[in-house]
Amino acid sequence: MADNLIKVEAGIEGEFEIQRGNLLGEDQFPIAKHKQTWGWGTMFFTAMGMAFNIILIMQGALLILFGNNYIQSILIMILSSILLGLLFALNGDMGRRFGIPHTVQLRAVFGNKAGAHIIGIIRASVALFFFGIQSWIVAMSMDGIFGILSSGWLQIAQFPRLFVLFVLFSAVQYLLMFYGYKAFKVAAIWGMPICVMVLIVALFMMRSQVGHWGPVWQQGSEFAAWGGGKQFLAGFAMLFGSWCTMIINFSDLTRVMKIDSKKIAVSGTLGYAVGMILAAVIGMTTLSLSIASGLGSEWNPVVWIVKFPNPFVAILILILVFVAQITTNPQANMLSPAITLANLFPKTATLKKASAVTTFASLFTFPWVFLAHQDTMMIYLSNVGAVLAGIALIMVADYWIIRKRQINFPELYNPTGIYHFWGGINWVAILAAIVSIVLGAKFINYGGTFISAISGFFVYLGLMKILSNNLTPIKSSLGENQLLAEKSKANFS
């Protein structure tokens, strides 16, 4: 073996020799097959846990405020979970096969240096803001608990006390990253089911206090009226679009899974469906109870729960908000920015160091601005899909249609190899991504997320088909892969 080569085991695909160099750091190594231990149950509860979070609970309320009724809102959740489960499995297949993170996966599509870095930074930036928003919501929950327990706590100025709690919870999440995937697995299997069951009991206790479930669930009320197609499409685009972040980096989870892609698709779809529907129902119910109790149409459940007249129920639910976020936020929103940062500086930045930087950076995301008004949150969530949906579908098109799952694995770590394209950038993929973002933003009020996804998918396919025989960098990257000729014939399994 040459001095600049190192032998690694890449998931179920076996052993390869890859180059040492600036594309190989501690966190870019593939995971060996014997370390891929997550089964369908872990996948189900992980998907359910990620879906059942405070942002989705808020989205349940926002769907009603968009003009949809509860039936339309639940239908949006079901359709989104089916679409997401399929796309997660499709885009996570490469990570499952080779045990690699999404930052390495991006190299085959966008280029092994600046191209992958640009897309990684875009995706990581969105995750960072989500991380900050959800951490701030937990700070609001903790502030509510302390305020109920001690009136003296409320004598402190509100913003300083919230910011201190924000910093403390961010630090707690950073500590969880030290235990990595093992901690995520335990949190998914045990934390989320308990949290859901207790929260449902708490909601029934709140209902008994108010006397009924409120106008959202009452036939004949203004909230029970069917919304139009525009409201349904806008809500669907907002919900689906906000999860395009996870489509892009789902390999960060599938790389530790031992089940095949079909089981990932089924268990992921079911997990997301259960988590999304529960989150939506709870969001709609808290909105409905807020209206029924005379506190207005409060879409942020924490704001209303803090004012609830039964302090025991209020504290119980606020604690559950903390638990729900600690089981969701690190793997959904800290992992991607940390891995992206480690990929930018593979020789110096480990995942733990990168997680520390991510935690610190999240303190400057100004989450209180996004949570100040429902319109601000709606605009942000809608724009996430417009930016990321096209990128996600470009990745799916490249792997499944252009390359037909044939990946030259060692070349992913070769600085000047076939995935170097033009100086480390695949300008064809970047151009398709730009087109998808521009079109998604232009039609943001007309299902911009889906416009972005469709345009990114077909523009990329069209350009690659036209240019594959005319441009040497593209032609080289699509050349027959002798190293994986046999393995790449595997079916979707």
Give the mean model confidence (pLDDT) for residues 429-452. Answer: 94
Give the mean model confidence (pLDDT) for residues 107-135. Answer: 93
Q: Quick one: pLDDT at residue 181?
A: 60
**Residue 434 pLDDT more than 90?**
yes
Taking only the tens place, the pLDDT of each residue in 160-206 is 999 999 999 999 888 877 666 666 666 656 666 777 777 777 778 87
**Residue 114 pLDDT more than 80?**
yes
Query: What number of other Cβ atoms are within 10 A of residue 136's Cβ?
Result: 26
Three-class SS state of 15: strand
Specify if 435 maps to a domain. Answer: no
Taking only the tens place, the pLDDT of each residue in 325-339 is 777 788 778 888 888
Give the mean model confidence (pLDDT) for residues 353-380. Answer: 89
Structural domain total, the chain: 1
Q: Quick one: pLDDT at residue 78?
A: 92
Specify if 340 maps to a domain. Answer: yes
Percentage, residues of the chain above pLDDT 90:
48
Specify if 81 maps to a domain. Answer: yes
Specify if 266 maps to a domain. Answer: yes
Specify if 311 maps to a domain. Answer: yes
**Residue 399 pLDDT more than 80?**
yes
Per-residue b or e along 208-233, where b marks 16 or more CB atoms closer than 10 Å to that residue's CB? eebeebbbbbeeeeebeeebeeebbb
Q: Quick one: pLDDT at residue 98?
A: 96
Give the mean model confidence (pLDDT) for residues 315-323. Answer: 82
Taking only the tens place, the pLDDT of each residue in 122-171 is 999 999 999 999 999 999 999 999 999 998 999 999 999 999 999 999 99
At 210, the pLDDT band (50, 70, 90 cuts) reads confident
**Residue 368 pLDDT more than 70?**
yes
Specify if 3 maps to a domain. Answer: no
Give the mean model confidence (pLDDT) for residues 250-272. Answer: 90
Specify if 227 maps to a domain. Answer: yes
Specify if 232 maps to a domain. Answer: yes
Q: Quick one: pLDDT at residue 123?
A: 92
**Residue 343 pLDDT more than 90?**
no
Long-range contacts of 374-382 (CB under 8 A, 24+ apart): 374/62, 374/65, 374/299, 377/58, 377/62, 377/299, 378/62, 378/66, 378/238, 380/129, 381/59, 381/62, 381/238, 381/239, 381/241, 381/242, 382/234, 382/237, 382/238, 382/241, 382/444, 382/448, 382/449
Task: Work out the mean pLDDT of the chain and round it to a whole number.
Answer: 87
Q: Quick one: pLDDT at residue 147?
A: 94
Q: Which domain holds residue 128?
A: 39-387
Q: Quick one: pLDDT at residue 190?
A: 63
**Residue 366 pLDDT more than 70?**
yes
Taking only the tens place, the pLDDT of each residue in 36-78 is 998 988 888 888 878 888 888 899 999 999 899 999 999 999 9
Give the mean model confidence (pLDDT) for residues 100-127. Answer: 94
Q: Quick one: pLDDT at residue 184?
A: 62
Query: What number of other Cβ atoms are within 10 A of residue 346's Cβ?
Result: 18
Q: Quick one: pLDDT at residue 129?
A: 93
What CATH number is given to the structural domain containing 92?
Answer: 1.10.4160.10
